[in-house]
Structure 1
C-alpha cells in the first residue's frame, strides 16, 4: 500500500537530530524520497566534527527508503541554491520543503551581544527565507511551463515567536518573523500551486533541554508527550498533497495536541472624525484596554 507521500521529494533542513530527524524519518516512512540537510554544528551554531545528515540518510536507506545527505549552509544563497539543486539533480523534482534548522544563543537583553543576535536571526529567519526563495523560484518556473505543482512549505516557528520568551529576545524575534514570512509567502505563492504553513512545536530536543528539564526522562510506560516524533505526523500531512486548501496557517503542536493559532485581529476600537489630544488618547486607550482580552503571558515572565 502506498504511503501518504509516495512519489514526493521532500527537503528537510536541520534534519540531523531532534525534530528534523524525526520529520525526515516520518516522511520516508510514508514513501517520500528525502534530502536530509544538516550543517553539523553544535547547539550554539559553532562547528561540530560530527556529520549527522549522513547518518540519518543512512538510517532511511537501511529501512528501505531513499535519501541523500546535504551539508550546505542554508543561510547562504549558495547553500540554499545547492539544497534545491541537490533534490532536482538526485530525484528530478521537488515537492515539499520543511524549514527546521536553527540553534540558540540565549541571553537576557542587556547581556545579548550583537553577534548572538545576528547569528540566531541569520540561521532561523534567513535560513527560512533563502531555501523558500529558491524552492519557490523552481515552482514558479514549473507553473509557467504548464506544470503547476502540488508544492508544500512547512516552516518552523515557536511559542517564543507567538508569545515571547524571557532570555530569548533574539530567538523570539526570529521566530515571530517566520510567522510573518509564512503569511506573506502563502499569499504570494498560491498562484504557483504552493501551500505554506508553519508549526510552533514543543518537544524534547537539544534546544529545549533547559526549558523541559523536568520532562527530559521519557516515562517507563505510557505516552511520551515530549518525544519529537509526536510533532512529525502533522508536518508530514501538511507536506503532502492531502493538505490541499490549507495554507497561511500556524499550528501549535505538542504530544497529542494540535491547536490552530489565531493571530492578530482587530479588537476594541475607538474612532472619531478629529484629532485626539494626548490626554483624550490616553483615556480612550484605557477604556479600550478594559474591553480587550488579557494577553497570554510571556514564557518565563
Structure 2
C-alpha cells in the first residue's frame, strides 16, 4: 500500500461544492488535512437563483468531522472573490478544482443566445476567472494543482448539448495550454470527464444507473491529480462507477500530396481510403506534432 496522500497546510478551492461531486471532493480533501474553500452559488441546475445554505451546510459537515473550511457563495464569474476568500482566511491557494456547472439542454434548432451564453459563462469563463485569480499565487509559491471538469458530451458530442459540449471540450484545450505555461513553476493541470450522480445527471439517467454512480468513486482520482506526487500534466481522464481511464488523440498516417503541384478535390477523393486508414496510427501529443508532418511535406527542417 502506498503512503497516504495528505494535504496538510494546503489550501483547496472546490467550486460547485454544495452537492454531488463538489461536496464529495471538499469532504475528502478536508479529511486529508486540507483547508477547504467550499464555493457554491446555490442556484438551480439551470443557473437560476442563489442560496448560501448549500455551501454552509458542507462547511458544517467538514467542521463536524474535525476539518477546516470556509463557505463562499460567489458566482465563479467572480473568481477573484473566491480566491480572495482563500487568501484572506488561509493565506494561500494550492489547489483549484473547477467543478461548478449547469445545464441548459435543448436541440440546436431551439437553442437561444441565453442558453449558449449561460453555459459558457459558468463552465469556460467561470473556470478561467477562478484559475486566473489563483494563478499568480501559484506562480509565486512555485506550486499549484488545477483540475478542470470536462464531460463525455464534450469529447463525443451529445444531442441537445451543443452549448455544453463545446464548453466542456474547451476546458480540455484550456488544460493543455495551462499545463505548458505552468510547467516551469511546478503547476500541474489536468482534466477529468466524470460520470456521476448529481442534480445535473439525475434528470437524464435512470434511477438504477444513478444509484451506482456515486460521486465518491470519482473523488479518489481528483485527490491523486491534486497531490504533491502528481507528475503528469495536461492529461484527460474518464472516470465513473469505479472505472478510470486515460484518453489520448489518435491520428491516421494520412496522405502526402505534392505541395508544389495543383491539388483538386478529386485527388482527395481518390486517396480517401488511405487518409482515413488508422493502420499504423500515430498518437500526437503537442502542437509540434501537427507542424512536423506539414513542414516535412514542404521539405523544411523545422527548428521547433
Aligned residues: 276
1:40 is paired with a residue whose SS is coil
Q: CA deviation at 1:236?
A: 1.1
From 254, 265, 280, the equivalent of 1:278 is 265
Deviating more after overlay: 276-285 vs 169-178: 276-285
CA distance in 2, matches of 1:275, 1:127: 46
| Bigger RCO of structures 1 and 2 (CA < 8 A, at least 6 apart) | 1
Match of 2:215 in 1: 228
Map of 1:1-301 to 2, 5 A cutoff?
Answer: 4-49=6-51, 51-75=53-77, 79-140=78-139, 142=140, 147-149=141-143, 151-215=144-208, 218=211, 225-243=212-230, 245-263=231-249, 265-273=250-258, 274-291=261-278
CA distance in 1, matches of 2:39, 2:208: 28
CA distance in 2, matches of 1:162, 1:24: 26
**Taking structure 1 as reference, are residues 90 and 258 closer, same or farther at Cα in structure 2, changes over 3 Å only?**
same
Q: CA deviation at 1:266?
A: 3.0
1:245-282 Cα distance to aligned partner (Å, 9 max, x none): 1111111011111100113x431311122231121122
CA distance in 1, matches of 2:88, 2:199: 32
2:193 is paired with a residue whose SS is strand
CA distance in 2, matches of 1:261, 1:173: 18
CA distance in 1, matches of 2:129, 2:50: 23
2:48 is paired with a residue whose SS is coil
CA distance in 2, matches of 1:112, 1:138: 39
**Taking structure 1 as reference, are residues 111 and 292 closer, same or farther at Cα in structure 2, changes over 3 Å only?**
farther
CA distance in 2, matches of 1:216, 1:259: 20
Q: CA deviation at 1:291?
A: 4.6
Match of 2:293 in 1: none
Question: Is the contact made by 1:40 and 1:53 (CA closer than 8 Å) also made in structure 2?
Answer: yes
1:147-194 Cα distance to aligned partner (Å, 9 max, x none): 422x10010001111111111110000000001000001001111210
CA distance in 2, matches of 1:127, 1:174: 11
TM (norm. structure 2) is 0.86
1:166 is paired with a residue whose SS is coil
1:155 is paired with a residue whose SS is strand
Question: Is the contact made by 2:254 and 2:277 (CA closer than 8 Å) also made in structure 1?
Answer: no
Deviating more after overlay: 105-114 vs 204-213: 204-213
Question: Is the contact made by 1:2 and 1:31 (CA closer than 8 Å) also made in structure 2?
Answer: no
CA distance in 2, matches of 1:33, 1:291: 48
TM (norm. structure 1) is 0.87
Cα RMSD after superposing both structures: 1.8
CA distance in 2, matches of 1:174, 1:215: 28
Q: Which runs of 5+ in 1 are unaligned?
A: 219-224, 294-301
